[in-house]
């Protein structure tokens, strides 16, 4: 969060990178294809991609690393991109949104994944710009969720090869949304595992785990709930860049986003249930311990009292002289204990 | 949930079956009727139903089993069905929705039932497509909720015989919705039974049962709440395939769906009440035990103290020599005990 | 609830009575009036009311008992009533709704009352159909909320005598709604009474009473909240059967319904407060008991320890031989007890 | 609440006074002014105000006491007021609303104040009718919130003197709304005072106070939340009686009402926090007491056991004969006590 | 809050300062610039700024201190400002709003900051009026959030120099909104710090801290949530004073405000989690103490009982005479203790 402050006080349209600086070097890779041809290469300077603006082939320019504002500025100028939009792109804490311009469409959203240990969610911002025959995608660091797709495009297997840049634009968003399912599945599995573990051992660790999960779910929801609006926006923009076919795909995508939102709400409810289960488990354990204490105390306190009676040193205590006195007292004690145990059994306290 | 992942990364319109593979074999049954004639038969290959597309009689093609994507693809091509729609059909985890196309109407919804032991809800997806003079229904495995209807159609008793395919389309949805009442009734009965049982014995088992019930109710709600929107959608589509008469029936159906949604909300509230009842029952029992402990402790602790006093071995303790000392101590003890019991009674702690 | 199942699987428009069968015999009573004349009588067969359809006087046909489906069918056919509407009428578990047809208006709502012992709410369905110059009201069993009104109509005192059938239609609804105030008053009084009783004695019985009340309030809300929509619907139907004057009355009625809905929401909130009060009362009582236990234990445990010390049998314990040893120990014990009591007082634990 | 029942069963438009009968006599006062002249007087019979209907000066007729239905009826007839509206006026339990008629505008709202001891909210209904050149205000009993205004009008200081009756109409509502701030301030102060008191002494009295406050806040909200709609209604009526200037003032008023609504929601949230604070305070105190019990018990129970050991009467117990045995046991006991106290300190339980 | 009352009862448009009187003297500073020239100076009397109304340069008049109503009145009259608007400006407890007039646009909002110790939020009202070529900003006391901007304007570095007064108007709002991020960051950091501290030591201090934080968050939300509406209003006003360019900036601002609102909702949820964590921490600690008590009691109570038995003074107690009796009893006691410890270990209570 701290990083946001660095921007406070500056005028709008000033390109200041907001976010963790992930990679040292900016990596620019280009995929340029037609149904029949394909070229893939990396470039070192942003100027090398400028000529792609006028190509008739579909050009996908992917930029990993947003901290080189000079580069971003050059890109923005050449492709005549909106300045405020560029600002949104390099502010990696921007909420998902889409915006339509005269000759380009823009969407920014969150790529969400789990860390290797599954303990936290990695959030990375992806911005995609769709132009006449090019798509520019910008992300904070080199990711791998597009790797498989890239291979398929190269092989010519991907449907994208036969379609225009708007389809590519859609597919990139689609792959990010598909990835959300991994997170919800992880949540689903974790909730199930926790449920069993909490029923077995409702210890304090469990509570902290539930809280962590709840926090992750909240973070997830915060990241994806504005996406609904963003995609709806795309549908309504009536941009000439999006073919009717692609709009149908986007409508389908919308349903996925709605579904994931419902799922996460459902999962938040389940996490709430876990909390109840935990609390009831803790109080159940406590109650059992208290019941034992009560049992032991309630049985032995009267017995100890009886023993105390006959420990008194009065000069004249007739029972003490009786031959069977000692055994009689034992009998009395045993009788009292049995009556109490029976009483407890009857009350279902044992 | 795991099964969804298998689809992640694939382009839209790729037919991949998502869901548990219920049956090994796909079963295709055909019911072809006019007001006066009826034919019922099963076919082995999907090609055998292709000629029905042009029949003027009402043809109901029911397909049990969605895992044979080749078959689904052929069907889709012959009947000129929408590709994305076919994808929704074989993704058995899709949320209920309806969609209108130029020459067919589509709805997908959940058939919900209880397992034999009543412990969990079985959810099966049903998709229904309405064409010019045919209805195609697709489900994951062979179900039996249409059995009785089928018999009535055969006997000629069913109203459906005299009506067009849109009525058949409506009736299939209607039977699914009618079935939801079984689930809400089960919930209603379970809630009532639990209430009594929790008042009698608020044990930990009860809590887990409440949680299970709550989970089932949430699952149920998740499955049926999007149906409202889906049916509303059907009403608004202004499809030529749906006669005005059938639209009235659909409006009536809508009311049922709204009512079931209200019912389930009401039941969720009741389940929340059960939880309160459980917690209060547990703490009531705990309080009773604690009260007993307090009573026994508070009465015997002072008595034991008195006994302890006269168990001391001081050389000069005048009371010890008194002839009635021992009995006097007994008297004192009994007096103390009586005073305390009275105090407790007065305070309503006994 | 069970009774709903009997309808599952049947086609729409099949008249099956859903609900408890209240009365054995169906009772049909007719009130036929003009500003100057009035006739009141009971008929045995439904056919006897058929001629009223064409009368120019206002005819109010009241039918008590809905289980005779043959009768209902005949009625429906003669008065050319909508079939699906008739189905709603005899399904006594239908939620309140109104619907407008070409030549009749329809509303179904719940008459709510308290049982004699005030412990539960009696819910009875009332359906009212307004035609050109007749009103048909159908209820499950003979009720008495219209009794006073009937007398006033007969006496000619009722405004209704000078007005058309739409005013009668409105008045019947209005009387049902007016009756709801009895229920909210009962709730208000019960809540107030409970509040005092819970402050005095927060026992388990109180909790069950709160839960019962909450359940009744939920049931009440479930029965009346759809009425808002139903009456709004009447207002918007722009039916020719409802005069502008009557529409103003219906608007006024709407305000009552809105007010009752707000009242019941307010009362639900108050019931929630009762629950808090109960829980706090229980834990207050518990805390008092625990405080006593702590007090007694904490004071006597050290004293008993001191007594135990001088009960030891060591050969050489100098204090035991001191002449004032015994009285010194008493002094010590009293001092310890006083210090502790003072400490507790200071801490405000006593 | 009971008073509502007296109206149940009567036809609409029957003027029956619903509410507490505050004053025995109805008091009618008239203020009749132009920018240059002013007359103030009281009248004994309603007929005396009838001539004001045609005056060109601004006439403000204020009626205190609503139980004289004959008077109200006469008023209504002469000023051609709507009958249902009159019914709303004398039903003092009506929710705030406004309504526009052809030649008069109507609003009914609640005057809210605190009783002298600040313990409860006094709610009094005020209805105001705006005609062509007159304003009629009706309240249950003689109030004093208009007193200062009346003086200022008389002195000619009030802006109202220079404006029309619509401004007077607005000012009356405005003064009622301004008065609401007193109540929210009282709530604010009470919440602050309670917060401190609960932190210091979370006793049962505090809880009942919180509940009372919460109840008052709910009542307040119930009384003012419909006012938003009522004032919005005034704005939308497009009545010719309200000048554009006055509408601006009413818009400003609207903002006040919205603000008060937000304030009360905020205060309800604060009251919820108080409840949490109370509960945590109670359990904190309880925990402290339990900790003491545990400390004392846990330290003395082992010591008492040791004393018990050496109180046994076995013939052969070597320690008893040791010369330093007694002092050794004392040493052991002190050591045990010290170890335990250290353990507790380390665990931060002391 | 108290200060509001002073206004109750006065007519609208009466300029009465509502709020704490921050500074004794009103400070008026002027910044008058064109792209090429700039003048900055302070004036002593309000009349000195009057000539700026007709300047073609951009004039920014900043007024610190709102209690001099005479000054405000003069300003209002000369610049032909709306009277009700002026009233909103000097009522420093007004909720954020914007309003459009024929020749000026108006917004009032809250500047929020933290006190030096970070314990409370300082809320100061800022009102900004945009005229044809001037901007008037009014605040309660001299603030410093515009300081840096002022320097940059002077240096000619600020974009504002090249733009019109509408851009200045936007920038002032923007700087206030940017400042909100400081508060949310403070909340974020505090929540994180508290979380760790509560896990370590859930003491009563923590609870009061959580409550304080929650209160601050509520206050913050109350101050900023109406801003959404206010800015939306600006966008919709279609004022000629705001250029299309500036409207784009305002749209961007809107997104920030929406984001901050979401953030604060998210943080409120997190604070709720802290509360849960606290409560669970407290009950965890309590449970541990109770477990210790139970352990010690349950182990020693039977042992003490055994010791009590052999402290009895019966004449005939065979064990007492056995040579190994004493050691045998020790053995028995140790055995009992070991068995109990094992039982507890097995039950995971130790």
Q: Which of D178, D276, D313 sits opposite E8 (nearest CB)?
A: D178
Looking at the partner chain, which of B4, B201, B204 has a beta carbon nearest the beta carbon of A181? B4
* A325/E308 touch (CB, cutoff 8 Å), yes or no: no
Q: Which residue of A has its CA nearest to E258?
A: A95
**Residue contact E182–A8, C-beta within 8 A:** yes
Structural contact between residues E3 and E18, judged by C-beta atoms closer than 8 angstroms: yes
Residues in chain D, pLDDT under 50: 1-5
For B45, residues 6+ apart whose C-beta sits below 8 A from its C-beta are none
Query: What are the tokens at D313?
Result: 């009467």
Residues B35 and B157: their CA atoms lie apart, in Å, by 10
SS (H, E, C) chain E: CHHHHCCCCCCCCCCCCECCCCCCCCEEEEEEECCCCEEEEEECCHHHHHHHHHCCCEEEEEEECCCCHHHHHHHHHHCCCCHHHHHHHHECCCCCEEEECCCCEEEEEEEEEECCCCCCEEEEEEEEEECCCEEEEEECCCCCCCHHHHHHHHHCCCHHHHCCHHHHHHHHHHHHHHHHHHHHHHHHHHHHHHHHHHHHCCCHHHHHHHHHHHHHHHHHHHHHHHHHHHHHHHHHCCCCCCCHHHHHHHHHHHHHHHHHHHHHHHHHHHHHHHHHHHHHHHHHHHHHHHHHHHHHHHHHHHHHHHHHHCCCCCCCCHHHHCCCHHHHHHHHHHHHHHHHHHHHHHCCCC
Partner E, chain D 138-157, Cβ-Cβ below 8 Å: 148-149
The pLDDT value given to residue B1: 38
What CATH topology corresponds to D289-346?
A: Methane Monooxygenase Hydroxylase; Chain G, domain 1 (1.20.58)
State the sign of the Cα–Cα–Cα–Cα dihedral D117, D118, D119, D122: positive
Quick one: pLDDT at residue C116? 73
Could you say which residues from 170 to 229 on chain A have a Cβ atom under 8 Å away from some Cβ of chain B?
171, 174-175, 178-179, 181-182, 184-185, 188-189, 199
pLDDT of B7 reads 56
Class of CATH domain A4-280: alpha beta
Name residues 236-275 of chain C within 8 A of D (Cβ): 248-249, 252, 255, 258-259, 262, 266, 269-270, 273
Residues of C in contact with B160 (CB under 8 A): 11
- Residue B84 to residue E238: CA distance in whole angstroms: 43
Chain D residue nearest residue C314, CA to CA = D320
Enter the ipTM: 0.72
Contact between E311 and A312 using a beta-carbon 8 Å cutoff: no
List of chains touching C (3+ CB pairs within 8 A): B, D
Provide the residue ranges of all domains of chain C, joining segments of one domain with +: 4-280, 289-346
Backbone angles phi, psi at E197, to 5 degrees: -65, -35
Q: Which chains touch A (3 or more CB pairs under 8 A)?
A: B, E
> What is residue C23's predicted lDDT score, i.e. its pLDDT?
53
Cα separation, B194 vs B188, in Å, equals: 10
Whole-angstrom distance, CA of residue B41 vs CA of residue B60: 11
Which member of B84, B97, B323 has the closest CB to residue A248? B84
Distance from CA of B35 to the nearest CA of A (A): 39
Residue D346, CA atoms < 13 Å, CB-side half-sphere: 6
> Quick check: C49 pLDDT over 50?
yes
The two beta strands, D121-130 and D105-114, are antiparallel
Confidence of residue B129 (pLDDT cuts 50, 70, 90): very high
* Shortest CA distance from E343: residue in chain A: A292
CA triplet B120, B123, B126: central angle to 5 degrees? 160
Q: Check: CB of residue E221 under 8 Å from CB of residue E264.
A: yes
Chain B interface, best mutation among A312, A322, A337, by max B CB count within 10 A: A312
Residue among A294, A295, A304, A346 with most chain B CBs within 10 A, to mutate: A294
Residues of chain E found within 8 Å of residue D309, distances taken between Cβ atoms: 307
Asked if C84 and B308 come within 8 Å (Cβ–Cβ), the reply is no
Between the alpha carbon of residue B42 and those of residues B24, B26, B61, B139, the distances in Å are 16, 11, 9, 16
Nearest to E313 among A8, A11, A320 (CB): A320
Collect all residues of chain C within an 8 Å Cβ-Cβ radius of residue B280.
204, 207, 278-279, 282
The answer to whether residues E169 and E132 touch, using CB atoms and an 8 Å cutoff, is no
D204/C171 Cβ within 8 A: no
How many angstroms separate the first and last alpha carbons of chain C?
A: 55
Q: Do A302 and B293 touch (CB under 8 A)?
A: no
d(CA A267, CA A187): 7
Q: Mark yes or no for CB contact D255/E95 under 8 Å.
A: yes
DSSP string, A123-136: EEEEEEEE-SSEEE
How many Å apart are CA B212 and CA B223, to the nearest integer? 17
Backbone angles phi, psi at D60, to 5 degrees: -110, 115
Interface touch D296/C293, C-beta < 8 Å: no
Q: What is the pLDDT along chain A (350 residues), one digit of tens a residue?
A: 344 445 555 666 666 666 665 556 788 999 999 888 898 899 988 888 888 888 889 999 999 888 888 888 899 889 988 888 888 888 888 889 998 888 899 999 999 887 777 777 888 899 999 998 999 999 887 777 888 888 888 887 778 888 889 999 999 999 999 889 888 888 888 888 888 888 887 777 888 888 888 888 888 888 888 999 899 989 888 888 999 889 988 988 998 899 899 889 889 988 988 888 888 888 888 788 877 777 888 888 888 888 888 888 887 888 888 888 888 888 988 998 899 888 888 877 76
- Residue D6 C-alpha, separation from nearest chain E C-alpha, in angstroms: 37
- The string of DSSP letters for C62-91 reads EEE----HHHHHHHHHHTT--HHHHHHHHB
pLDDT in tens, chain E (350 residues): 344 445 555 666 666 666 665 556 788 999 999 888 898 899 988 888 888 888 889 999 999 888 888 888 899 889 988 888 888 888 888 889 998 888 899 999 999 887 777 777 888 899 999 998 999 999 887 777 888 888 888 887 778 888 889 999 999 999 999 889 888 888 888 888 888 888 887 777 888 888 888 888 888 888 888 999 899 989 888 888 999 889 988 988 998 899 899 889 889 988 988 888 888 888 888 788 877 777 888 888 888 888 888 888 887 888 888 888 788 888 988 998 899 888 888 877 76
Q: What CA–CA distance (Å, rounded) separates E97 from E234?
A: 9
Cβ <8 Å between C312 and D307: yes
Residues of E in contact with A278 (CB under 8 A): 280
Give the rounded distance of the alpha carbon of C51 from its chain centre: 40
- The shortest CB-CB distance from D273 to any of E214, E319, E323 is to E214
CA E74, CA E46: separation in Å to the nearest integer? 8
Per-residue pLDDT, C24: 66
Q: Report whether pLDDT(C142) > 90.
A: no
- The packing angle between helices D165-200 and D204-236, to 10°, is 160
Going by C-alpha positions, the residue among E66, E118, E114, E72 that lies closest to residue E94 is: E66
With b for 16 or more beta-carbon neighbours within 10 A and e for fewer, the A136-146 pattern comes to bbbbbeebebb
Output the pLDDT for position E4.
47
Closest chain B residue to A270 measured between Cα atoms?
A: B215
Percentage of chain B surpassing pLDDT 90?
Answer: 15
Per-residue pLDDT reduced to its tens digit, C275-317: 888 888 888 887 878 777 778 888 888 888 888 888 888 878 8
Per the listing, tokens 């009533």 go with: C81
Pairing of strands A58-64, A134-139: parallel
Total-model pTM: 0.79
The chain E residue lying nearest A220, using CA atoms, is E266
Write the pLDDT tens digit of every residue in C51-100: 888 888 999 999 988 888 888 889 988 998 888 888 888 888 888 999 88
Would you say how long chain A is, in residues? 350
- The stretch C171-183 carries a mean pLDDT of 90
Q: What integer pLDDT is reported at residue B8 of this predicted model?
A: 57
Residue B180 above 60 pLDDT?
A: yes
Interchain contact B50–C (C-beta under 8 A):
no
Residue E201: the pLDDT is 79
């Amino acid at each position: 969060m701290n990083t946001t402050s660095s921007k406070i006080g500056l005028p709008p349209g000033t390109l200041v990178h907001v976010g963790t600086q992930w990679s040292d070097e900016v990596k620019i890779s280009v995929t340029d294809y037609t149904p029949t041809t394909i070229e893939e290469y990396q470039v070192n300077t942003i100027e090398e991609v400028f000529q792609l603006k006028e190509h008739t082939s579909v050009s996908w320019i992917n930029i990993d690393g947003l901290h080189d504002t000079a580069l971003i500025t050059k890109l923005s100028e050449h492709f005549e991109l909106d300045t405020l939009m560029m600002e949104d792109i390099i502010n990696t804490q921007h909420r998902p949104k889409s915006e339509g311009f005269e000759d380009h469409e823009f969407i920014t959203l969150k790529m969400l994944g789990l860390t290797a240990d599954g303990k936290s969610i990695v959030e990375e911002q992806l911005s995609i710009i769709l132009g006449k025959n090019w798509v520019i995608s910008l992300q904070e660091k080199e990711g791998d969720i597009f790797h498989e797709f890239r291979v398929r495009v190269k092989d010519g297997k991907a449907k994208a090869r036969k379609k225009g840049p708007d389809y590519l634009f859609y597919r990139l968003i689609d792959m990010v949304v598909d990835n959300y399912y991994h997170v919800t599945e992880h949540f689903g599995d974790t909730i199930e595992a926790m449920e069993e573990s909490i029923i077995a051992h409702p210890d304090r660790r469990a509570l902290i785990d539930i809280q962590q999960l709840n926090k992750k779910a909240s973070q997830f929801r915060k990241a994806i709930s504005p996406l609904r609006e963003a995609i709806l926006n795309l549908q309504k923009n009536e941009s000439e860049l999006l073919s009717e076919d692609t709009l149908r795909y986007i409508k389908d995508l919308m349903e996925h986003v709605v579904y994931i939102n419902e799922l996460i709400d459902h999962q938040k409810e389940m996490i709430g249930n876990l909390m109840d289960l935990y609390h009831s488990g803790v109080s159940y354990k406590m109650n059992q311990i208290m019941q034992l204490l009560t049992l032991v105390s309630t049985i032995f306190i009267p017995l100890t009292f009886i023993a105390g009676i006959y420990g008194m040193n009065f000069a004249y205590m007739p029972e003490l002289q009786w031959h069977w006195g000692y055994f009689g007292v034992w009998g009395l004690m045993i009788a009292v204990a049995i009556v109490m145990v029976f009483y407890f059994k009857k009350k279902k306290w044992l």
